[in-house]
Amino acid sequence: MKTIQGNMIGSGLRFAIIASRFNELITSKLIEGAKDALTRHDVRHQDIDVFWAPGAWEQPVVAKEIAMSGKYDAIITLGAVIRGDTTHHEYVAGEAAKGLAHVGLEHRIPVAFGIITCDNLEQALARSGSKAGNKGADAALAALETANLLREVRNDRGADA
């Protein structure tokens, strides 16, 4: 039995981070967590590009253009959708998740979902670098591992051909 898995070495990989300007207080902390996680795993600063989208809703179309460029090994999406007095947050978060998943599948590129969904600002702060860790770092590590896993799958498939 063969086991194939991605490693956590980022040298030679390029990453696009799409950040939501909406709730920028939270998003900026998620970005710092993602950048820190990537550089700790040998990704060079010049191999990380940050793209600012107005909000989570706009991220899928930005991700699609980035994926179509062929310049990146993975895309990391970051932002915060915080519950308000209406159900608006459900539509935004759900459609963003669906759109980003579609981009990854259609373009065969990892699209890590680091858009946190929270009931309030306190939860968002906790998940962006305090008590609950930094979900931006978690998304970056998922993107790194998946990019390396896909590289292994593609190399293995090529060896079997």
Domain assignments of the chain as residue spans, ordered by start: 15-149
pLDDT band at 158 (very low <50, low <70, confident <90, very high): low
107 is an active site residue? no
Catalytic residue among 88, 89, 102, 107: 88
What pLDDT, in 10s, does the model give residues 106-132?
Answer: 999 999 999 999 999 999 999 999 877
pLDDT at residue 159 is higher than 60: no
Amino acid at the residue 15? F
Please determine, looking at this structure, whether the domain spanning 15-149 carries the CATH number 3.40.50.960: yes
Please provide the average confidence, as pLDDT, over all residues in the chain: 94
pLDDT at 84: 80
Mean pLDDT value across residues 10-34: 97
Instruction: Look at residue 40 and give its three-state secondary structure.
Output: helix
How deeply is 145 buried, as exposed, middle or buried, from its count of CB atoms within 10 A (0-12, 13-18, 19+)? buried
At residue 160, the pLDDT reads: 53
Check residue 89 and give its pLDDT.
Answer: 83
Which phi and psi angles does 55 have, rounded to 5°?
A: -160, -175
Cα separation, 133 vs 48, in Å, equals 21
pLDDT over 60 (residue 161): no
Mean pLDDT of 132-147: 96
Name the nearest CA neighbour of 63 among 91, 12, 97.
97
Q: What is the pTM of this model?
A: 0.94
